[in-house]
């Protein structure tokens, strides 16, 4: 096939356009381009609650309460910057009296349910206040922790003059600094309620005050997201997002909440994701080992309590306070249980995990009855106590069935061999968005083609060093990593074609009135202006053209990034100067996926997925479904496969295993020969290069280079990726 057809045409050139887009953001009245990633907006009236709604929350996901005042509302007429502010309608406050309004860390709830936030990570705050009462006011800024008790609080008071101008209020958040009054022992690392207490300086007052641009500065060095090294930007975002999940955990059960605005539900997927990332967080110094072990012990205890009441698996959702059944359907989901099972296995395998803790992990994970979900057509989706197992199975190419297969393979007491269900995802087709040569596997139905499904398996286990798997139809066999890379490459090209360069990317989530859908460029469900900023991390991990510039732009955009990281979703009309309808809440599963991808990018070939793939039990299981060099799918790499490779050699794109592509990248070259060599064994050494097609320019030296950049190709660090990309670019000229 043509080596030039659509291969990055227009994509690389469009990177400059994306930077121009970032620069143009300042022209949009409600948009601020941040030059320091250390500063985040807690609230400014710009972001709403659910996508497209008029409800407004702070960017932690907490609501506003009028307290003792007349009302509090989002005001779209008066603002310091942007399009809106927060307006507190005081009513009338008598002389010598006061009134207050509040905002919270998440949904207001009883103490044992509270989802708190870590204010201690910030060194200072600032906000702007406009006083329309006609008289000067005192404004007390008051902080309370998880106890929500006046016996443990800190506050300081500011004077706000009357007038149509804006008064800047700012202070250090070091409670020992001048100006703070501290009562008891408030714990800012578990902040729950922020109150603003208004009192007249003389006489009574009536009217309104406005707050806008309430920002927090992290206790970290200044970092320009548009110019700093990309690894530094990724590190800062990854740490921020992980911290948002970690510090909000329930301190009794260890469970991670389902979303940033909901204190009543924790979830298996979010808890499993944090558990999976925990060893990397310890390695990077974000969490100390003792706290990590304590958390894992709490999660094990919680799972045992839940399993005592469930039938086969822990429930998909879980009571965050008691770890018992959440009520309602009490769904037991095979995929959600797999996430936490893999997180448990990963932690158990760490050298730092003590023998007793490893034993407790092993005991609880072996209570997961994955074998009960194994049907001939694939793993069943879920079990409901009221109606039994779902009829549907994971029988399409979404990688969810493969994740369940991996978790079930690692079970001792409820073992299901990996190879028995790995290839049950038969509802698959090769499809493309722009370039036929970059066709990749997706689900047969377009409504199940979200980007996260392509990334999912790759976030848990690195298969980039392996060839294609043993799916029987060799035209529909692939390597999960290479397939993911090609999917994201096509996404980038399609965004350029649509005039939406860098708006990575429509993904699974809530799209307003349509509810939850698996959005993608294959099927936007009528929401063509919708995209999910958190998902840019998935594109970045896959090396999609424009993804680095896109991540920088979103990190610099106060609407698309906040104290919990990249926004959950946004609308950006094609050709418009900026986004609209950005929710303040976060779906914590999306935060998990995004953070996992950022960590994978940072750690390269030392990532959690690489370490997990190298574990003896995992490596042996994968060997059963990845047979290097077996192009015809008969279970061995032999001379027949070499002949297939020779026949296809030189096809630079669009090839399948049936045509000689042994590693799934779409080309037939020396990298594929090396996969065949590995599969055929030592007797088929470099002497087999004599079998290369006549006239081939593939030298032994180039094969040696491919050993680093192709033959045994782990996902490398960013620097290594650039080295190999340069090599491949030279080879294709």
For the segment 104-162, what is each residue's pLDDT rounded down to a tens digit? 999 999 999 999 999 999 999 999 999 999 999 999 999 999 999 999 999 999 999 99
The secondary structure element, H or E, covering residue 457 is: helix 451-460
Residue 129: name the closest of 208, 73, 211 by CA: 211
Residue 266: name the closest of 568, 588, 566, 565 by CA: 588
CA dihedral 598, 602, 608, 610 (to 10 degrees): 120
Cross-strand partners of 469: 626
29 pLDDT higher than 70: no
Q: What is the pLDDT of residue 693?
A: 58
pLDDT tens, residue by residue, 609-647: 999 999 999 999 999 999 999 999 999 999 999 999 999
The SS3 call for residue 469 is strand
423 pLDDT higher than 60: yes
**Contact of 171 with 177, CB cutoff 8 Å:** yes
Q: What mean pLDDT is predicted for residues 652-663?
A: 95
Residue 382: name the closest of 459, 305, 452, 329 by CA: 329
**Contact of 392 with 373, CB cutoff 8 Å:** no
| Angle, helix 451-460 to helix 588-603, in steps of 10 degrees | 50
DSSP assignment, residue 25? Answer: G
669 pLDDT higher than 60: yes
Residue with tokens 């859908």: 517
pLDDT tens, residue by residue, 246-294: 999 999 999 999 999 999 999 999 999 999 999 999 999 999 999 999 9
Q: What mean pLDDT is predicted for residues 403-430?
A: 98
Quickly state the pLDDT bin for 515 (edges 50, 70, 90).
Answer: confident
Rounded distance, CA 613 to CA 606, Å?
A: 11
Q: What is the pLDDT of residue 513?
A: 66
Burial class (CB in 10 A: 0-12, 13-18, 19+), 444: middle
Quickly state the pLDDT bin for 681 (edges 50, 70, 90).
Answer: confident
How many Cβ atoms sit within 10 Å of the Cβ of residue 301?
A: 16
E-state strands within 310-369: 317-318, 332-333
Q: Which two tokens stand for residue 308?
A: 């005592």
The SS3 call for residue 647 is helix
Q: What mean pLDDT is predicted for residues 361-385?
A: 98
**Contact of 238 with 274, CB cutoff 8 Å:** no
227 pLDDT higher than 80: yes
Residue with tokens 């005991």: 363
Residue with tokens 């939406």: 500
Rounded distance, CA 226 to CA 249, Å?
A: 32
Q: How far is CA 223 from CA 36, 231, 234, 556, in A?
A: 5, 12, 11, 10
8 pLDDT higher than 90: no
The secondary structure element, H or E, covering residue 279 is: helix 268-283
pLDDT tens, residue by residue, 150-180: 999 999 999 999 999 999 999 999 999 999 9
Q: What is the pLDDT of residue 25?
A: 38
CA dihedral 60, 64, 67, 70 (to 10 degrees): 160
Q: What is the pLDDT of residue 580?
A: 87
Portions of the chain given CATH number 1.50.10.140: 248-426
Quickly state the pLDDT bin for 49 (edges 50, 70, 90).
Answer: confident
The secondary structure element, H or E, covering residue 183 is: strand 181-183
Sequence-ordered list of residues with C-beta below 8 angstroms from that of 423, at least 6 positions apart, any chain: 469, 470, 471, 472, 625
> Half-sphere exposure (CA, 13 Å, Cβ side) for 607?
27
Q: What mean pLDDT is predicted for residues 318-346?
A: 98
The SS3 call for residue 145 is strand
373 pLDDT higher than 60: yes
**Contact of 446 with 522, CB cutoff 8 Å:** yes
> Half-sphere exposure (CA, 13 Å, Cβ side) for 283?
16
DSSP assignment, residue 200? Answer: E
Q: Which two tokens stand for residue 532?
A: 């999910």
Between vectors from CA 42 to CA 36 and to CA 43, what angle results, nearest 5°?
120
Rounded distance, CA 414 to CA 363, Å?
A: 12
76 pLDDT higher than 70: yes
Residue with tokens 């991540």: 551
Provide the pairing of β-strand 64-65 with 508-510: unpaired
Identify the residue with better confidence: 589 or 697. Answer: 589
Concatenated DSSP letters of 378-434? EEBSEEETTTEE-S-B--BSSSHHHHHHHHHHT-STT---HHHHTT---BEEEE-SS
Q: Which two tokens stand for residue 668?
A: 């037939």
Quickly state the pLDDT bin for 34 (edges 50, 70, 90).
Answer: confident
Q: What is the pLDDT of residue 30?
A: 40
Query: What CATH number should be reported for the domain whose range is 248-426?
Result: 1.50.10.140
For the chain, what's the residue count? 733
Q: What is the pLDDT of residue 723?
A: 37
Rounded distance, CA 500 to CA 511, Å?
A: 18
Rounded distance, CA 632 to CA 121, Å?
A: 56
Residue with tokens 């936007």: 524
389 pLDDT higher than 80: yes
Quickly state the pLDDT bin for 733 (edges 50, 70, 90).
Answer: very low
Portions of the chain given CATH number 2.60.120.260: 39-218
Q: What mean pLDDT is predicted for residues 354-362?
A: 99
Q: Which two tokens stand for residue 437?
A: 């040569």
CATH for the 39-218 domain, from 1.10.1510.10, 2.60.120.260, 2.30.30.230, 2.30.40.10: 2.60.120.260
Sign of CA dihedral 253, 254, 259, 262: positive
Quickly state the pLDDT bin for 231 (edges 50, 70, 90).
Answer: very high
Q: What is the pLDDT of residue 514?
A: 64
Q: What is the pLDDT of residue 33?
A: 64
Average pLDDT for the chain:
90
Q: Rounded to the nearest 5°, which phi and psi values hold at 341? A: -65, -45
31 pLDDT higher than 60: no
Q: What is the pLDDT of residue 28?
A: 34
Residue 312: name the closest of 411, 418, 421, 420 by CA: 411
Residue 297: name the closest of 240, 249, 335, 262 by CA: 249
Q: Rounded to the nearest 5°, which phi and psi values hold at 47? A: -90, 145
229 pLDDT higher than 90: yes
Sequence-ordered list of residues with C-beta below 8 angstroms from that of 157, at least 6 positions apart, any chain: 138, 139, 140, 141
């Amino acid at each position: 096939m043509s080596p030039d057809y659509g291969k990055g045409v227009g994509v690389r050139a469009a990177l400059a356009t994306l930077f121009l887009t970032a620069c143009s953001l300042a022209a949009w009245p409600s948009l601020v381009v941040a030059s320091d990633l250390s500063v985040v907006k807690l609230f400014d009236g710009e972001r709403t609650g659910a996508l497209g709604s008029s409800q407004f929350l702070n960017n932690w996901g907490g609501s506003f309460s009028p307290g003792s005042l007349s009302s509090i509302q989002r005001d779209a007429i008066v603002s310091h910057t942007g399009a809106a502010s927060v307006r507190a309608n005081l009513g009338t406050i008598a002389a010598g009296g006061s009134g207050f309004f509040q905002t919270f860390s998440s949904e207001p709830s009883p103490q044992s349910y509270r989802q708190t936030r870590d204010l201690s990570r910030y060194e200072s705050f600032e906000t702007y206040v406009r006083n329309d009462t006609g008289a000067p006011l005192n404004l007390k800024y008051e902080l309370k922790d998880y106890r929500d008790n006046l016996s443990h609080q800190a506050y300081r008071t500011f004077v706000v003059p009357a007038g149509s101008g804006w008064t800047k209020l700012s202070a250090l958040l070091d409670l020992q600094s001048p100006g703070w009054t501290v009562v008891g022992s408030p714990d800012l690392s578990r902040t729950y309620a922020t109150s603003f207490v208004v009192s007249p300086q003389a006489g009574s007052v009536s009217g309104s005050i406005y707050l806008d641009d309430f920002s927090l500065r992290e206790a970290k060095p200044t970092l320009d997201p548009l110019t700093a090294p990309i690894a530094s930007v990724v590190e800062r975002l990854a740490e921020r997002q992980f911290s948002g999940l970690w510090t909000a955990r329930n301190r009794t059960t260890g469970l991670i909440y389902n979303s940033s605005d909901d204190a009543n539900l924790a979830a298996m997927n979010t808890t499993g994701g944090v558990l999976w990332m925990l060893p990397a967080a310890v390695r990077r110094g974000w969490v100390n080992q003792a706290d990590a072990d304590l958390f894992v012990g709490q999660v094990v205890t919680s799972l045992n309590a839940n399993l005592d009441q469930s039938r086969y698996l822990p429930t998909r959702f879980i009571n965050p306070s008691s770890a018992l059944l959440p009520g309602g359907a009490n769904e037991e989901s095979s995929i959600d249980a797999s996430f936490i099972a893999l997180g448990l296995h990963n932690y158990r395998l760490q050298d730092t995990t003590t023998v007793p803790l490893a034993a407790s992990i092993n005991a609880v994970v072996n209570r997961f009855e994955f074998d009960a979900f194994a049907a001939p057509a694939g793993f069943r989706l879920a079990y409901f106590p009221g109606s039994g197992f779902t009829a549907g199975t994971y029988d399409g190419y979404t990688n969810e069935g493969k994740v369940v297969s991996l978790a079930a393979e690692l079970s001792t007491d409820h073992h299901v061999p990996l190879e028995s269900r790995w290839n049950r995802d038969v509802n698959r087709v090769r499809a493309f968005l722009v370039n036929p040569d970059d066709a990749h596997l997706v689900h047969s139905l377009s409504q199940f083609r979200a980007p996260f499904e392509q990334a999912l398996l790759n976030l848990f286990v690195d298969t980039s060093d392996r060839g294609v798997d043993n799916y029987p139809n060799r035209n529909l066999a692939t390597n999960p990593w290479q397939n993911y890379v090609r999917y994201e490459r096509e996404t980038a090209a399609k965004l350029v074609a649509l005039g939406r360069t860098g708006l990575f990317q429509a993904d699974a989530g809530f799209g307003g009135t349509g509810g939850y859908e698996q959005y993608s460029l294959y099927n936007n469900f009528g929401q063509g202006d919708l995209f999910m900023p958190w998902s840019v991390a998935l594109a970045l991990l896959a090396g999609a053209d424009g993804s680095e510039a896109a991540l920088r732009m979103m990190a610099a955009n106060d609407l698309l990034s906040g104290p919990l990281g990249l926004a959950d979703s946004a609308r950006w009309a094609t050709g418009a100067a900026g986004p609209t309808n950005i929710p303040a809440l976060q779906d914590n599963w999306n935060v998990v996926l995004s953070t996992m991808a950022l960590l994978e990018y940072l750690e390269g070939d030392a990532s959690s997925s690489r370490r997990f793939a190298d574990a003896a039990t995992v490596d042996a299981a994968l060997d059963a479904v990845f047979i290097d060099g077996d192009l015809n799918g008969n279970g061995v790499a032999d001379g027949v496969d070499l002949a297939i490779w020779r026949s296809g050699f030189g096809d630079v794109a669009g090839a399948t295993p049936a045509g000689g592509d042994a590693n799934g990248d779409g080309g037939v070259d020396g990298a594929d020969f090396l996969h065949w060599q590995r599969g055929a064994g030592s007797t088929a050494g470099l002497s087999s290069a004599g079998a290369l097609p006549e006239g081939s320019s593939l030298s032994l030296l180039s094969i040696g280079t491919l050993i680093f950049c192709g033959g045994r190709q782990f996902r490398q660090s960013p620097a290594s990726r650039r080295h190999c990309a340069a090599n491949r670019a030279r080879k294709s000229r």
